Structure 1
Amino acid sequence: MTSSTPPRIKQRSLKRRIALITIGSSLATVLLVLLTAYQSLIKDFETLLTREQISASQTLAHAVNQQLERRVQALSSLAAVLTDGTRRLPPDQLRQILERQSGTKNLFSPGLTVFDENATAIAGDAHTTGRIGTNYRDRDYAQRLLKTHQPVISRPLIGRTTGVPQLVFMAPILSDDGVFLGGVGGSLDLSKQSVLPVNELAKRIDSERDNLQIIDSGNMVYVSGSHTGLHLEPLPEPGASRLVDAVLSGMPSGTEHDSHGNRQIFATAHLQRLGWLFVKTTPYEKALAPAWASFQRFFLWSLGGASLLVLFGLWLTRRALQPLNAMTERITHMADAPQTGARLPASRVHELQGLTRAFNALAHSREQKDQQIRAQRDRLELQFQQSGDGILTLDSDSLTILRLNRRMAEMTGYPPETLVGQKPHDSLFAEPTKLLAFLQHVEQDTGVQHAEFKLYDASGSAIEVEISATRLVFSSHAEIMLNLRDATERNMLAALKERFIATLSHELRTPLTAINGALKLLVSGTSGALPDTAQQMAELGLRNGLRLQTLIDDLLDFSKLAAGHMAITLSPCDLQTLLEETAQGNQPLAMNHDVALQLDACGPWLISADAVRLRQILDNFISNAIKASPPGGVVTLAAATQQNRVRISVTDQGKGIPDEFRPFVFQRFAQAETSPGGTTEGTGLGLAICKELAEQMHGTVGYRSQANQGACFWVELPFPETTTLPKPDEPGRQRCDDGVTQKVLSSAQSYPE
């Protein structure tokens, strides 16, 4: 019988196994802590450096802006002494004042210049006398001054002949009533005077580590220099420097490679006034050198700890787990019950110190962002409630009121809680259908929309308000914001102005009629022959008196039209007869300007119009056309039919209407220099009156024009309802544009010498 023995099991020391497990896990833990600490440390250094760079860039941009603002304030102070309160001072007095501005002139080179209300230089100091008479209206900065009446600074301009950069500063000259009287300006030669704060650059830039680049985004150049002036260098070609491409694409900060392939940490600040980008860069390796040194020290400490763990693995493992468990409990408690200022306590275990620092930094960053959000929310709420305009916010879908500010509650007289949830077009406004259509239009358009409505307050009184509306789109919903401004005072002032002009014009016309009558008697010789000199003076006075009477008549006509007091009587009129009388009546003016007045014949059509007022419109068109035509030119008066309307046109051979004036052709007090002599006469009300008269007769006015090819002004009126339109093949009924015989009224034919 054979005996069997169980196989011998290879025994291993449990202590050794535990030691190996402990040592392996300890080493893995050390490596994990080292990696986490390194990543957190690098991230912290990048974040801190980026914040430092952003702060430095913004500080430098602010310092440059202060340099610009100092010059703007100097010009604004100078502008205040260039007026007596109502008018701009005479050029000689302006020149004397400019010569005494030694302090202000030191801020600008080469000097100072005063402009009139049309941006024409009228006075300057000894350095700018050559600019007198030059008009700068086509410059962008001059247009902004004329439009805003606020101080302006041009973007950096590169001289076409000098190739040097320069800035132009302009400040408005205003009367005590705020009327724009002109401007004062000064230029700054950046090649001689710098706006860069050299001391601030030295303070903010570490020359051994950092680099500052200033990019002119408008001219695509680098800007560098000192207190004596600036220098320009071209930017690399697109794609040559990923760093420059990233900055120009709008990235505020980050890391990117420069044109040499070196990785850089950068941050930018934008000075919008000049279009400059301040870019502070730091080589990535130099920026992270302190972090790497700290990590090396931390690594050595961790290596020493790992050695101790190898010797005392079990004991250290047990002790290491205790603070880790305590930290876990602390983090869990902080997550369940967040408290401001709650932080993890410093750990005595090296492996946990990096985790503690990273977590505390994250908690601090989150608290700062929360504080910024709360501060921004409080600031917006304060602006909303203290706005001088009434503000309503509506739900974009239901158009119900979500919120309103205190001013809106004061305007309506309703408590805010009464209006919330209501629809504004149901109870607050006089024209609910019009308001609803306006809100629907705002829904479809992303821009700001403007309109005027009547708002009812709690007492039932109507208030005229001007509404500016825009649609705001948020992540979860959309709203419509309405800004309401009381327009009652503005409308009252406009009405008062119209009444004042009408009263003044009426009071002036009575004595002027007597003066012109007396002058006519003197010129005609009724009271006896006058000496030649006296005869010339009487004729001059009569011409200017008649011109002044025409201006006053224009003012009275426009005042009547604006007030709705102009009597318009519509009746059937013989168009052919009216056109012939109009051509004959304007023949003396055509002779005086050596211009031929041509009438294109048309059939005996009847139109629905007030003959006197239609004649007034045509006289204005013909007068303007004659004055705009060169000597020897032809002005054509014609008519043509289209459906149930007739268009009467006046065409000249002048220079045409300037492009920049076309939007203002039919606006009151608008005048363009279209005459061959470059001068303008009248009040600028003639075409505005024509437009109002045509609309009163259910007609329209318009024009077409091309540069150096003349202009054509037309008035379009309806036929009477009982009129049978002319047939194309009926004799004497052809349309005026069908090539019928023309009747020429030239000075040689009608008025032989």
Structure 2
Amino acid sequence: MKQPRYSRLAIKILLLILGASLLEVVLSGWVTQQALRSDMQDLLIEQQARINRNAVELIDRELDIRQQFLATLAGQLALSGRVSYPAAARLIASQRDNINGYFPGGILVLNDQGVAIGESTHVEGRLGTRYADRPHIQQALRSGQPSISKPIMGRTLRTPIISISAPVKNAGGEVIGLIAGVIELERENLFDVAVNLTLGVPSRLFVLDTTHQIYVTATDPKLAMQPLPDDADSPLLAALRSGQKRGLLHNSETGGDDLFIADDVPHLGWRVVSLTPLKQITDKLEPILTQKLVIGLVFFLLLALALVLLLRRAMHPLSAAAQQITQMMEGERPIQPIQINRTDEVGYLVHAFNQLSQRQQQQALELQRERDLLRSQFDQSSDAIVLLDVHSLQILEANPQCSRLLGYSVDRLRGRPFAELLAAEQAALPDLLSQAMAEAGHCNMALLRQFGGSVHCEVTAASVGLPDQRQLMLNLRDISERMRSEQLKNDFVSTVSHELRTPLTSIYGALRLANSGVLHDQPEQARSLLQAAEENSQRLTALINDLLDIDKLEAGKLELSLQPLDLDQQLQDARRMLASTADEAEVHLRLPEPGGQRIMADPQRFQQVLANLLSNAIKFSPPGAQVEIETQACEQQVRLTITDHGDGIPLAFQPNVFQRFAQADATATRQRGGTGLGLAITRSLVRAMHGAIGFSSTPGQGSRFWVSLPRVLPANTQDPRPAAPDSNGSKAHE
């Protein structure tokens, strides 16, 4: 491939950067305009909202000052002990200057019935008038708290007023009168400071009385006390009456939009509204945008000149490095580090390329060594190993040990379906492989040899390879000798058990006869030895019976007579059989209420299951404890649960509970007896009767064993109830 001229790439980079820069200038100008407009509008809204809040606070503060003044007058009047005409007159005379300053409209003194008995400004017909029907007067008399009325029409003044009331209380806290201050809205303006607040731009402020539909005051003094126009004549009032508190309105005079913000004055039913034109903001944006455009164009031209110079200087070493790499690819020069003396980004790139090339060569050598090592382990492994295709399960590769194990050459094993090597009467190959691939799992397979016969193997499986090239690796370990040893052991145990059973039965019978009193005048020591001999022979007989049961179950020779059984009757029989054992251990067996459930089971073997589980529960329960037996019917099963409150099963031992000869504590075994075969036999019997068994146990809190057996349903009936959960707060095992 011919080395391209670097100027083509330089031109492309130059055009790309200049185009991007030009686009940035245009877009940034537009974004700046939008951002400035948005930011200034948000600033205006926040400033105007703050001014509105300040105006509301000024109004509220002015009313609070006047309310405090009335409270002071009420305290002075309370010193006289009663509200009367003379006391009111003396108070008004002593405070007249302050009263005229705070309340030019005057104050009224009312007795506890709400009747006016004193006034600072005389109004014809006001003294003697009863004001108790006014809501704010009633509230102040009833609650004993100061109150401010909403703007109302004065009863005697016949003008809009605000009334501020302060209760007069005697020493016992009882309301004995009121002092009410009157603010005439047409005579005085409380809000000059709030009205004069502006933003430095043409802004207008309105204080509206929405109750009486009048202007209280405004930036334009001519609007004070004027009625509010209708919605059709004022878009601002239409927006306020619709519930809006801020927004934009079109101004037909300026052609732009005006911002309005409204806040309510507490206790008065008034609304403070500011109106500010947005055109004052937009007019200030034009010079800013023009200045930014000019700056952007100058920057664009300077950037173009700088890029031409920089690209000319930067592209030359890159072109030289590319030429050296091409020569190494075409074999014109050996693979070696590229020689370019630069300390900038180009030099860093070349240095990184040299390091990458060296690392790749090292990894290739390490990969080859690992392949050789794995191949050596594969060929020299003492276990037979085969690799299978995950889809077809055909043999892709086999090691020499596999060839020696099965008799086939490695070449004859390649491409052969692994299922052809399975001996008859085994589970399907996918099921066996699933079992072998389970966590810490394995399976046993019988594989055919080339020249006849079979070999028993313990198989473990794992998925290996890349994600898109997965393979199954099977490890085959010959266990034929181990199985023959186990068979010999089982045959020996079975033979010895059968041979010992008859003489032990005779010995046990003779010992029972001797201990029954047939032999008179036995020495005390002889009786003790005979009793111990009888107990040990009974224990040996039970052990031999358990061994014979295990042998029959494993050989599949145990005959069962499955028939419908009354579960309640079976539980009663089991309790009678174990009553003496429970009494000796001082443990109470609690049976469930009769439920009429019937199960399909062998009566003798089911009693053996109950005896094993209940005897264990009794054995491991403390004196005075209770063993609970519960039953629950599911759709097709009946679940029997036996719960004890002993020490529980240690967590480390729980996975081995159903193993033969497994016992958590040898000391407990010697104290409580047992061979470690009961639960193993119980699980085999339950499974033989098409049932299931499991347990859950929390150390220190007891154990809970459950057995599930097929349910015998009456004709044409169904039980929709779901099975109960198998947990009492700890992990359940089955």
TM-score by length of 1: 0.45
State the structure with bigger RCO (CA 8 A, min sep 6), 1 or 2.
1
TM-score by length of 2: 0.46
Higher-Rg member (1/2): 2
